[in-house]
Homo-oligomer: A and B are copies of this chain.
Amino acid sequence: MDLETVKKYLEKGVGADGDDKNASTINGMPSRFFENFIMQGLHVDQIEKGRVLCSMKVPPRLLNAGNFLHGGATASLVDLVGSAVIYSYGASTSGVSVEISITYLDAAYVGEEIEIEAKALRVGKTVAVVTVEFRKKKTGKIIAQGRHTKYLTVQSKM
C-alpha cells in the first residue's frame, strides 16, 4: 500500500461528511459498549472456581479482512474471559491488567463453533495469572492461546 492508502485504512470514518453512516452510529454508541460488542453470543458451558468453559459461534461483526475471527477480538476475549476466572474466586473486582499475551495458531471462520477455556494458573493476594485457550469445537484444534496477568489491589498500584 502507498502511505495515503494506509492513512485511509487507519482513518475509517474520520472526516466523514455525512457520507459515512457508520461514523455517527459508532460515535453515538453508549458508554462501555465494548464488552457487549465483543461478548454478545458467548455461552458459559461450565463454570467452577478457577475454570470457565465458554462456547461461541464466530459472528460476522468480529471478522477481519481475511474473513476469520479478528486477532483484536481474540485478545479482547482473553481479557474478558480471563477476568471471569478471577471473579470465580469470589472477588468483587478482577483487578487491573498488567500484561496480556496471545499466540495465534489457526483461523476461526464465520459461523464456526469455538470453545474458550480459561484456567487460573495462580490467584494470589495481589497477582493473578490465567491462561485462555481457543479451540475448534469439532476437532479440538487450538486456534489461539493467551495469558493474562492482573494486579488485584487497584489502589496501591501506583
Contacts and interface: CB of A to CB of B under 8 A. Distances in A.
A71 B100 contact: yes
Q: What 5 A-B pairs come out closest when comparing CB atoms?
A: A72-B76, A75-B75, A101-B101, A31-B60, A29-B61
Question: Interface size bucket, A side?
Answer: 35 or more
A114 interface: no
B59 A35 contact: no
Nearest to A121: B142
A34 B72 contact: yes
B11 A42 contact: yes
Contacts of A42: 10-12, 14
B36 A13 contact: yes
Number of copies: 4
Given A14-B42, A39-B12, A31 B63 contact: yes
B39 A37 contact: no
B104 A97 contact: yes
Interface of A: 1-3, 5-7, 9-14, 22-23, 26-27, 29-44, 47-49, 52, 54, 59-67, 70-73, 75-81, 84, 87-88, 90-92, 96-107, 110, 121-122, 124-127, 129, 131, 142, 145, 147, 149, 151, 153-154, 156-158
Contact of A98 (B92, B103, B131): B103
A145 B147 contact: yes
B59 A2 contact: no
A105 B37 CA distance: 25
B37 A37 contact: yes
